[in-house]
Structures are given as structure tokens and as C-alpha cells.
Structure 1
Amino acid sequence: MTDGFEFTRDGEVARLTFARPEKMNAITYGMWSAIPDVVAEVEADPALKVLVLTGAGKHFSAGADISEFRDLRSTADGAATYDKAVDGAVAALTSMRKPSVAMIQGNCIGGGCQLSVACDFRFASEDARFGITPAKLGIVFHFDSTRLLVSLVGPANAKYLLLSGELIDAVRAREIGLVNDLHAAEGLTAATAAFVDTLCSRSQASIRGMNRIIEKIVAGQRTPDDEVDAIRLTALHGEDYAEGVDAFLNRRPPKFTHR
């Protein structure tokens, strides 16, 4: 595993932890570059159903490691190479069929916030702070990440975050839809775990199919295509559909088998 990460498995749940607490979990070029491989590993492992992203210590992530920029982003070619790694990490998370959950404490700023937005869900502690700060560095934010942010919080709130570079607290982040829910710091892990357990108990055929359709809608697709039709038809003929209907009619919890 790349320096700066810890990757663990706990039953059906994978956890990717930013593990540079002395740097507030700043994300290095190597870490950006490694995220697609982590995602591919989770997607390929039939025993895993959910990926959780979090940070070691007091913070989720303070963003990209700016100390690398003079060496890695000092030229146009260097910046393009660096940005390709960032775009690859975001694309890997947003294209996951299996759900991803960001569990956020402390600072979630810059690239850290960018990765949290690329996840399907965001649960935060009440002391968390959020911001996306390219305007403080003379950088124009990535197109796909901007699109994701606009789809999540709307254009007005996206402009506030991007153009001002100001930080907002967890309550405001919840109000604008940047996070799904807030919890006291001491209860964040348990609350996130409970939601992850709920995801694991649902039909994985349904979850992965709907996650793909939502991804297509966010990307701008307005009508179903052959892939959408195939996803829905495959589910209709799948074991999970038969089990779900039978469980509902017999008033029992379903036991889905699709992995």
C-alpha cells in the first residue's frame, strides 16, 4: 500500500484511511495516483460491499500536499500530469458501483473535500470544517469535480465555496447538502457503521444498478439507454427480486444473496 494510506477490511466493509496525521492527512501525488487501484480492488472483491474513507487522528484531510507543488506543478506539463492523477482518483470514486462513504472529522478542505464530494455519502462530526480553496492558489478547479459539487449543493453554493475559498462549519455544510448528516464526534463512528450495515443488508443488485443510473444522470444523461434497460431487466430476472418480493409478502426480513 502507498505511503500515507492504510487499507483494511472488516467483513463486508473496506476502509481507506488517510494516514498522515502529522500533516493533517495532506494528500500526496502518490496517494492520488493510488486511489484508482484501491477502488478497483474493492470493486473486484466479491466479499466487499462498501468502501469507507476517513482520516487518522483529528482530521479527514487538509487537502493536497502543497509542499509538492513547486516540484510537481511548476510547469504546464507537470501540472497536467498532477491533474491527471487527481482526475483519475475522482473518476474512480464516482464510477464505483459499490457505495462509498466519507466519514469526516476536523478539516475537510481542498482535495480532501474534493474526494468526499466524489463519494456517495458524507457523514461528519459536528466540529468538522469544509472548504475548497483553488482561488487561494490561483488554480481553476477541475471540471468533473465542479460538476459534482454543483449537482450536490447547487450553483450558488458551489460559487460561494469555489470563488471565495472560505471555510464553512458542519452545520452550514449540512444545510446546503454538502453532508448527509452530522453527529457528535464521539458518536460518528457508530452512526456511520450503522448506516454502512444498512447498505450491506440491502440488495446489492439494486444498489449497484441504481448507483450507475444516478452517475449517468449527474453526468447529464436525460433519457434511458440500452445500459439502463439492461440493468433494470437483469434485476427483474435476478434472485434478489424474487427474494425481496417473497420476503415482503411473508413479512420477514429478506436474505439477499447477490454479491
Structure 2
Amino acid sequence: MTDGIDLTRDGDLARLTLTRPAKMNAITHEMWSAIPEIVAGVEADPAVTVLVLSGEGEHFSAGADIGEFRDLRSTPEGVAAYDKAVDAAVDALAGMAKPSIAMIRGNCIGGGCQLSVACDLRFAAPGSRFGITPAKLGIVYHFESTRLLTELVGPAQARYLLLSGNLVDATRAREIGLVTDVFDDLERQTGEFAATLCSRSQTSVRGMNRIIGKIAAGLTEPDDEVHALRDEAARGADYAEGVAAFLERRAPNFTHR
């Protein structure tokens, strides 16, 4: 495993943890570069249903490790190579069919916030702080990450966050849609929600997650993939079990992984 990242599995859950607490989990180029392969492994693992992304210690992440920038982003070619690694990490998370949850405490800033926005859901502790700070560094933010942010909070709030670089607290983040919910008992309540996702039909969860992503990316009419997802679900074992369980007034026992 890459230094600064740890992947563990606990039953249906995979947990990807940023493990540089002494550096507030600042994300190195090596860490960015490792994320796509890790995510691909989670997607391919039939034992895993949900991915939870978190940070070790008091903070989620203070962002990209700016200490590397003079060496790795000192030329246009270096900038392009670094950005390619960041974009690949964001695309991998945002493109998952299995649901992903960012579990956030402390600072979630810059590249850390970028990773959290690429997840499907964001749950935060009350003391969390959020910000996206390219305007403090003379950087124009990545297009796909800007799209994902704008999709979450709308153009006006995306402008507020990106143009100012100001930080917002967890309450404000929830108000503008940057955070899905704020939990007093973050670990327990996030685990409970993840368990709810695990209990549902994975045919439904992954199919709908994929379709939501396609709509967010601009799809306005169902394409062949959408039709195939719905047709396969209608013919699948989960549908038969779900209907039978409803009619028999019992909990369903979904088997699709």
C-alpha cells in the first residue's frame, strides 16, 4: 500500500483512510496517483458494498501537499502531469457504481474537499471546516471538480467558495448542500447509514447511482446503458425477492453482489 493511504475491509465495508495525521493528512502526488487503482479494486471486490473515505486523527485532510509544488509543479509540463494524477483520482471516485461516503472531521480543505465532493455522500462532525483554496495559490480549479462542486451547491455558492477561498463551518456547509448531513456521533451514525445501504438491493443501488451520475454529467434522455440497467433489474433475482418479501411481509434477502 502507498505511504499515506490505508485500505481496510470490515464485512461489506471498505475504508480508505488518509494516514498522514502529523501533516493533517495532506495528499501527496503518490497518494493521488494510488487512488484510481485502489478504487478499481474496491469496485471489483464482490465482498465490498460501500466505500468510506476518512482521515486518520483530528482532520479529514488539509489538502494537497503544497511542499511538493516547487518540485512537481514548477513547469507547465509538471503542472499538467500533477493535474492528470488529481483528475484521475477524482474521476475514479466520482465514477464508482458502488456508493462512496466521505466521513469528515476537522479540516476538509483544498484537495481534501475535492476528494470529498467526488464521493456520493458527505457526513461531517459538528466542528468540521470546509474550503477550496486555488485562489490563494494562483491556480484555476480543475474542470471536472468545478462541475461536481457546482452540481452540489449551485453556481452562486460555487463562486463564493472558489473565488474567495473562504472557509465555512459544518452548519453552513450543510445549508448550501456541500455536506449531506452533520452527525454528533460521526462514526456510529455513518456506520448506521452505510449498513442501510448494504441492506438494500445492490442491483438497485448501483444501477441508480450510475444513472444519477449520467444525469449529473448532462444526459437528458435514457441511453442504451440506462435501458440495459433497468431491463436487467426487471429480470433479476433481487426484483423477484423484493416483490416476494413485500407481499409476504418480511425483510428481503437480496443476494446480488
TM range (shorter): over 0.9
For the residue of structure 1 that corresponds to 2:47, the secondary structure is: coil
TM-score, scaled to structure 2: 0.99
Matches within 5 A, 1:38-187: 38-184=38-184, 187=185
**Structure 2 residue identity aligned to 1:60:** F
* One-letter identity of the residue aligned with 2:219: Q
Question: Partner of 2:246: helix, strand, or coil?
Answer: helix
- Residue 9 of structure 1 aligns to a residue in which SS? strand
| Distance across 1 between alignment mates of 2:44 and 2:135 | 38
Give how far 1:217 is off. Answer: 0.6
TM norm structure 1: 0.99
Query: 2:163 is matched by which residue type in structure 1?
Result: L
SS at match of 1:255: coil
Q: Provide the identity percentage.
A: 71
Give the residue type in structure 1 aligned to 2:152. Answer: L
Q: What is the match of residue 191 of structure 1? A: 189
- Unaligned segments of structure 1, at least 5 residues: none
The residue type paired with residue 194 of structure 2 is: V
How far 1:78 moved relative to its partner? 0.2
State the superposition RMSD in angstroms: 0.5
| Corresponding residue of 2:232 | 234
1:202 to 200, 203, 208: 200
Aligned letter for 2:253? K
Name segments (4+ residues, structure 1) moved above 4 Å: none
What 5-or-longer segments of structure 2 have no aligned partner? Answer: none
Partners of 2:130 and 2:84 in 1: CA distance: 24
Match of 1:222 in 2: 220
1:253 and 1:217 map into 2 onto residues whose CA distance is: 31
The offset of 1:249, in angstroms, is: 1.0
- Once residues 180 and 253 of structure 1 are traced to their aligned partners in structure 2, the CA distance between those partners, rounded to angstroms, is 27
Equivalent residue pairs, number? 257
CA distance in 2, matches of 1:226, 1:98: 20
**Offset, 1:183:** 1.5
